[in-house]
């Protein structure tokens, strides 16, 4: 346990004295983002959802992979900033757990994994629920592992659960005290209470998604109707905590004797995503790309890694201008029409 006052002092010390960069959830206009903390008072642990998930710290939006010089050859680049990340919601921690798997499964992606290893993940249980969030239906409104520390707001203090050695060490500098029986039951109550707060709900258990999607792949009318207003803008992909596709490009300096190879987030909703050599596009039509995302989240990743790749954060729905991306609407409608 730590009083809120002591917690702020603890964060302030981290910001000023720790050699690592301290990032946390802060206001941006009337939204929230993960960004470098300049002062402990800027931290907003009562946020609802951030624009981008914390994935950006392990897989940056644009990242240099290789630098090359015509005369000296090339060298691999991995810019690692050790970080303490404060205020990750349980659904985003679940997404990070899945990304850790994706980036280490068959090929160990050092650019992701080294950044991930250099980070301390401090979670926080959800205090305010975004109107688009349906983590309650996805079993991700709370999480019992895959964090270094987990905070729960119980009035004038935070309960701190320790999830790892890294988390334990971070607390060296904090004025913490033992939790009482009452504190423990307050945390338990909080975690149970949050499940009831979500307005958006899935009408089926997520385990049923793979089979539902398998059955509805061929329901072209359904996918065409729902994607009619799709811009193919990729916003739903780009804000998703479990989307990990990227494009690789080379950029030369105007001197032509050096340059770099970068990777940048990509998205399967974008028209050119599935174009291969010879200009063949495997998903030329809007509805095919639209369907593909739901298939990935609810079925393909499940077949490959055993996870339902939607964690219920609701970011895709909230960022879709024509409002056609909310997974609860689509999956619930699909259930309705697939009997």
Which chain residues interact with other proteins by CB under 8 A? 28-31, 33, 51-52, 56, 61-62, 228-235, 238-239, 249, 251-256, 264-265, 267, 270-272, 286, 319, 321-322
3-state secondary structure of 160: strand
C-beta closer to other proteins: residue 168 or 231: 231
Distance CA 131, CA 165 (A): 35
Place of tokens 């939790």: 179
CB of 322 to other proteins, least distance (A): 5
C-beta closer to other proteins: residue 199 or 247: 247
CB burial class (10 A; 0-12, 13-18, 19+) of residue 80?
Answer: middle
CB of 292 to other proteins, least distance (A): 16
C-beta closer to other proteins: residue 10 or 244: 244
CB of 318 to other proteins, least distance (A): 8
* Strand bridging mode 119-124 / 21-28: unpaired
CB of 16 to other proteins, least distance (A): 26
Write out the two tokens for 337: 């029409």
Q: What string of DSSP letters covers 217-285?
A: TT-HHHHHHHHTT-----HHHHT-TT---EEEEEEE-TTSSEEEEEEEE--TTSTTTTEETTTEETT-S
C-beta closer to other proteins: residue 232 or 332: 232
C-beta closer to other proteins: residue 217 or 231: 231
CA distances to 63, 81, 143, 145, 210 from 115, rounded to whole Å, are 12, 7, 22, 20, 32
CB of 34 to other proteins, least distance (A): 9
The length of the chain in residues reads 339
CB of 251 to other proteins, least distance (A): 7
C-beta closer to other proteins: residue 223 or 265: 265
């Amino acid at each position: 346990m730590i009083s809120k006052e002591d917690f702020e002092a603890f964060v302030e010390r981290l910001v000023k004295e720790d050699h690592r960069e301290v990032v946390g959830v802060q206001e941006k206009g009337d939204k929230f983002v993960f960004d470098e903390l300049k002062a402990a008072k800027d931290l907003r642990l009562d946020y609802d959802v951030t624009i981008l998930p914390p994935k950006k710290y392990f897989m940056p939006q644009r990242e240099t992979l290789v630098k090359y010089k015509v005369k000296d050859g090339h060298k691999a680049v991995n810019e690692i900033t050790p970080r303490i990340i404060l205020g990750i919601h349980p659904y985003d921690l679940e997404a990070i757990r899945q990304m850790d798997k994706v980036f280490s499964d068959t090929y160990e992606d050092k650019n992701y994994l080294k950044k991930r290893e250099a980070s301390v993940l401090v979670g926080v249980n959800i205090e305010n629920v975004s109107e688009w969030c349906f983590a309650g239906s996805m079993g991700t409104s709370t999480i019992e592992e895959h964090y270094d520390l987990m905070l729960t707001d119980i009035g004038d203090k935070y309960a701190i659960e320790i999830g790892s050695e890294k988390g334990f060490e971070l607390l060296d500098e904090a004025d913490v005290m033992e939790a009482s029986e009452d504190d423990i039951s307050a945390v338990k109550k909080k975690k149970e209470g949050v499940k009831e707060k979500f307005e958006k709900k899935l009408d089926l258990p997520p385990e049923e998604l793979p089979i539902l999607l398998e059955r509805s792949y061929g329901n072209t009318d359904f996918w065409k109707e729902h994607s009619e207003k799709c811009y193919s803008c990729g916003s739903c992909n780009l804000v998703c905590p479990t989307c990990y596709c990227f494009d690789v490009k080379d950029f030369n300096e105007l001197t032509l004797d050096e340059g770099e190879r970068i990777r940048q987030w990509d998205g399967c909703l974008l028209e050119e995503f599935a174009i291969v050599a010879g200009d063949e596009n495997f998903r030329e039509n809007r509805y095919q790309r639209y369907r593909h995302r739901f298939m990935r989240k609810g079925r393909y990743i499940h077949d490959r890694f055993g996870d339902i790749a939607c964690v219920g954060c609701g970011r895709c729905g909230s960022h879709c201008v024509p409002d056609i991306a909310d997974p609860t609407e689509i999956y619930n409608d699909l259930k309705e029409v697939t009997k």
